[in-house]
Amino acid sequence: MIVRKLLTLIIIAFIAENLFALTINESGGWLESAFVKWAPIDSAKSYNVYYTGEGIINKKIDNQLIRNYGSYYRADILGLKAGSYTIKVTPVYANGEGTGSETNSVTVYAHDRTGFAFSNGRVPGAYKADGTPKDDAVILYITENTKNKVSLSVNQANLNPCVGLQTILDGFKKGKDNRALIIRLIGQVTDFAYDLGGDIVIENDNNTSSYITFEGVGDDAVADGWGIRVKNATNIEIRNIGTMNCNSKEGDNIGLQQSNSYIWVHHCDFFYGDAGGDADQAKGDGALDSKTSGYVTISYNHFWDSGKSNLLGNGTEDPEYLTYHHNWYDHSDSRHPRVRSHSVHVYNNYYDGNSKYGVGSTNASSVFVEGNYFRNCKYPMLTSMQGTDIFYGSPTFSSEDGGTIKAYNNYLTGYNRFVAYGDTLYPNPKVEFDAVVVDNRNDLIGDSITSKKGTKTYNNFDTNTSVMYNYTPDSPDDARIKVMEFAGRINGGDFKWIFDNSVDDESYLVNTELKAALTSYKTSLVSIQGDSIATGGETDTTTTGGGTGGDPTAGDYVHNFTESGLSSSFYSITGSLSDSKGIVEYSELTLDICLKMESSTIVSFSTNEDAIYTLVFNTGFSGNIKLNDTLYSVSNGILSIPIVAGSYELKKDDVANLYYMSIDYLTNGFNVNEMSAPVVYPNPVINNLNILSGSDIVKVDIYTISGSLIKSLSGNLKTLDMSNLSKGSYLFVLHTINGISKQIVIKE
């Protein structure tokens, strides 16, 4: 009978497991990222996603990377080295993880880090050259729900924590915080409560130790209605973002406004902005303009019928070096780019039905145009006030002094007019020329060749080995194929549009159907895992919680202010709550209501056993609090304090916001021998780190946050000497005879 019942239970479990088996619909690798899609399971509360490959085993991704699109779920994994990976998705039920499914091997490719932005050993952005996050990187997730509440304490900011994306960036403006910053945009995000003239502005006072990446997640990250502006900044990367309907004061979808260096903008989709005040701004102002900026790479972007794609320079400026490569100028009208003063390499771009002109050179600029594919681009190359620019009676694009274009190995088809220097088919081609076409890429242009207006000469920057970078250009046709596959957001982005070449190749008017589609664009994103945010204004009611009667249970030792406010059967809480101090992600929870640590705030409780008291503040917060009038220092927003049996009062020292607290008893209440996972303390730690575990610790592996193993210790470990580790955060992998536990430890 017992055997029969046991067999029945096994059969029932087998049927239930397979009845709710998770089905993966699609997976794939991309540029230093990978993705997976799967069918939802009705009974699943959430999902966990893990990846394995290139030395990493079953690493869990952040909750915010898991999104619901109604008929399917999608997760994107960012910051991967090139190589092969598998992805595992597991449903989470009320009683824990269910049976997951794993993808076949997917191949991840490296980004093309070529161009002037990578000169002098620089790698712009918060990722390393291998595609993984820099060791000290801080990651922020920006969604429609979190955009005004996300918080971070920034070194020497005017007021910490900084709440809201622009406020956080205002903190980095001073250039005093050297942590790498990764800002991840998820879904369609509209205007912020606080911005700067309709722009999110990135600055870091040109601090060469500061690195910032602003990136989109997946194929549907959209900046809707606002622009991105970079000024007084260095080491900045912007990637995988679609920008549309921009109505900022400056008017550019993305603008490099002033005094920038080592900037990389790539794999973005540029759509119409709102009409500006000038006649030539019906499609918005500039899509991606650059002013007084150098050592810049603009690559693999997709410009969708942009009116004015890339203005470079807004006056007489010192020469700067920039690269434009593998961009898709898809029926955009002009400025691809329009160059003043600077030295610019324009190679392997796809000019696809451009109604006005391709590359324009003015004001003593030197432009090397190489290996591009021009299809029905009306005037592929123009030099101001000479050749085709004035052939029809007035300047096509500029009345400024001329520059010089050196052209090599370009493919031109379907153009109206192009005159090469010395072309005997045209009268006076040594004066009225558009570009100097050379037979070999290393050919020099002598000083005898000058612009008609201003008698400007070419500076031959492209043959100067002390200036130029290493690169291997594609053939024009190979470049066109590569651009159509990789330009813009991952897999071409979520917005699809097919141009009518018979009309759109020659028209520079607003495409009314495209404009309507962009104006009415709505994301298909339903929800983001871990992104449930309370709405409404600030809650600021002073009251006393606790005293609900009865003996506390284990759950009462954990207090989540977002869920429970001031009410607790274990803690007595006097103080004020707020829901406007930012959002904290902790232990797979999204916390957006906090207890303000003010002079009148008191949290009191009593314990009968030794315990660890854990407090969670704003991410990045560093400051002091008082426990029984003893000062304790908080580092990176989390503090764990070993306490003995007794009564305690938590009070303010520095201004802070407390989101979560817990008591973990070391004996009796949570018997060490029955602990499901080891506990380490104190955390943060200065010298000795203690380990409490129900089973022997046989090995401890210590990794950097980026995944590099730095130390491996063996034996029955109880205490670890941390004095030789540098300050920062580390991943501890604790091996017991019963399994593996992972914990983040902060070394002060």
Nearest to 56 by CA among 79, 73, 35: 79
Rounded-to-integer distance, Cα 185 and Cα 140, Å: 9
> Is 335 an annotated catalytic residue?
yes
432 with 386: CB under 8 angstroms? yes
Helix (H) or strand (E) holding 16, with range, is helix 2-19
Encoded tokens for 433? 């020329």
**Omega before 429 cis (within 30°)?**
no
Nearest to 423 by CA among 414, 432, 410, 412: 432
Encoded tokens for 357? 């002109």
How would you class 440 by CB atoms within 10 Å of its CB: exposed for 0-12, middle for 13-18, buried for 19 or more?
A: exposed
669 with 556: CB under 8 angstroms? no
Pairing of strands 288-290, 254-258: parallel
Nearest to 339 by CA among 371, 319, 320, 313: 313
Length of the chain: 748
Encoded tokens for 265? 């903008």
407 with 370: CB under 8 angstroms? yes
328 with 488: CB under 8 angstroms? yes
Helix (H, G, I), strand (E, B) or coil at 363: coil
Beta bridge partners of 47: 91
Helix (H, G, I), strand (E, B) or coil at 501: helix
614 with 588: CB under 8 angstroms? no
486 with 480: CB under 8 angstroms? no
343 with 405: CB under 8 angstroms? no
Catalytic residue among 74, 113, 179, 335: 335
* CA torsion through residues 676, 682, 684, 685, sign: negative
CA-angle at 141, arms to 140 and 147, nearest 5°: 105
Q: Which residues have a catalytic role annotated?
A: 335
